[in-house]
């Protein structure tokens, strides 16, 4: 009988109530992990995700821009799960707009959520992981962090900095047994991309060698790999999962 890859591992996932985060929760659970996830406000959606895992995962509300709440959620998850082996920083937002008219709040909210949120969760989680003797962190970035994006100065800056944070933590925490990696998706079918106009989507499709957007599950499988011992010699890496979109560069 084969053991599941993540059997008895404990995992915290932020933004797990829908989209990529929900797929990550289901994937980690199906590989045997004990999972606690966070949602911002959509308690009904969170309940659906819990139900889809046979009631075997738990959830709590969290705004990752709230430092005190981040500490509390990490403590809560650690206590509930009996440890913290895996943290997936998935929560993220877009506030797209042309640079010249970008509002201070659109800048600040994106940086505070996509970058500050990861900083806060990681700092709290790392203390626990160091006490345990190790762990694995996976950050959900974006190819835009490397390529940049028109109308996405705030988002691209947040994800580019997230890649740098990932490498820095990997270098600093590697000696303590904590691996830190990121997944950089291209275009994924979720609420976030649902807002992309049909014409724009058609243009993007033409540039994807594999000819389609990713399903959230296809990002989740890369996250599960990085979180698992199959990736135990991988750290500080940003793994692109984009159907080849970035091969053709920024246009
Ligand atoms: P989504 O909008 O469907 O879900 C985002 C999740 O983050 C939700 O669960 C939401 O509640 C949570 N969240 C947002 N702000 C939060 C806050 N302040 N505190 C706590 N939670 C918060 O988005 P999607 O598409 O599932 O994106 C997930 C991650 O994947 C994000 O980091 C996004 O930047 C990244 N990504 C998505 C791509 C796509 O094509 N959909 C492409 C590349 C990266």
Ligand 1 pocket list (CB less than 6 A)? 14-15, 17-21, 39-40, 62-65, 90-93, 113, 140, 142, 185, 187-188, 190-193
The residues near 105 (Cβ < 8 Å, ≥ 6 apart) are none
Query: From the candidates 29, 37, 155, 213, which is the catalytic residue?
Result: 155
Best of 14, 21, 245 for a ligand 1 pocket test (most atoms within 8 Å of beta carbon): 21
All domains of the chain in start order, with CATH: 10-186+216-241 (3.40.50.720)
Question: What pLDDT is stored for residue 64 in this prediction?
Answer: 98
Quote the tokens at residue 47. 């309940």
Question: What pLDDT is stored for residue 82 in this prediction?
Answer: 98
**Helix and strand tally (H, E) in the chain?**
10, 7
CB 85, CB 136: distance < 8 Å: yes
Active site residue 155: yes
**Tens digit of pLDDT at every position of the chain (251 positions):** 568 999 999 999 999 999 999 999 999 999 999 999 999 999 999 999 999 999 999 999 999 999 999 999 999 999 999 999 999 999 999 999 999 999 999 999 999 999 999 999 999 999 999 999 999 999 999 999 999 999 999 999 999 999 999 999 999 999 999 999 999 999 999 988 887 777 788 899 999 999 999 999 999 999 999 999 999 999 999 999 999 999 986 55
Question: What pLDDT is stored for residue 192 in this prediction?
Answer: 81
Task: Return the axis-axis angle of helices 117-132 and 153-173, rounded to nearest 10°.
Answer: 20
Question: What pLDDT is stored for residue 195 in this prediction?
Answer: 76
Torsion sign across C-alpha atoms 154, 160, 166, 171: negative
C-alpha torsion 166→39→41→51, nearest 10? 160
CA-45 nearest atom, ligand 1: 9
CB 184, CB 141: distance < 8 Å: yes
Question: What pLDDT is stored for residue 248 in this prediction?
Answer: 81
């Amino acid at each position: 009988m084969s053991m599941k890859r993540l059997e008895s591992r404990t995992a915290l996932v932020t933004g797990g109530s829908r989209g990529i985060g929900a797929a990550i929760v289901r994937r980690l659970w199906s590989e045997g992990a004990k999972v606690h996830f966070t949602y911002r406000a959509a308690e009904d959606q969170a309940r659906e995700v819990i139900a889809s895992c046979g009631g075997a995962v738990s959830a709590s509300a969290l705004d990752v821009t709230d430092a005190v709440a981040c500490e509390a959620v990490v403590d809560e998850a650690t206590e509930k799960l009996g440890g913290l082996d895996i943290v997936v920083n998935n929560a993220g937002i877009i506030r797209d707009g042309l640079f010249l008219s970008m509002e201070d709040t659109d800048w600040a909210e994106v940086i505070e959520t996509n970058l500050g949120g990861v900083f806060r969760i990681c700092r709290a989680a790392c203390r626990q992981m160091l006490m345990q003797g190790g762990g694995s962190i996976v950050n959900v970035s974006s190819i835009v962090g490397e390529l940049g994006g028109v109308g996405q100065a705030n988002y691209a800056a947040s994800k580019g900095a997230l890649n740098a944070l990932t490498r820095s933590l990997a270098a600093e925490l590697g000696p303590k047994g904590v691996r830190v990696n990121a997944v950089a998706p291209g275009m994924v079918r979720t609420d976030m991309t649902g807002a992309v106009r049909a014409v724009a989507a058609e243009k993007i499709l033409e540039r994807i060698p594999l000819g389609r957007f990713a399903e959230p599950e296809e990002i989740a499988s890369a996250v599960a790999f990085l979180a698992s011992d199959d990736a135990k010699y991988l750290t500080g890496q940003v793994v692109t999962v984009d159907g080849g979109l970035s091969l053709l560069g920024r246009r």
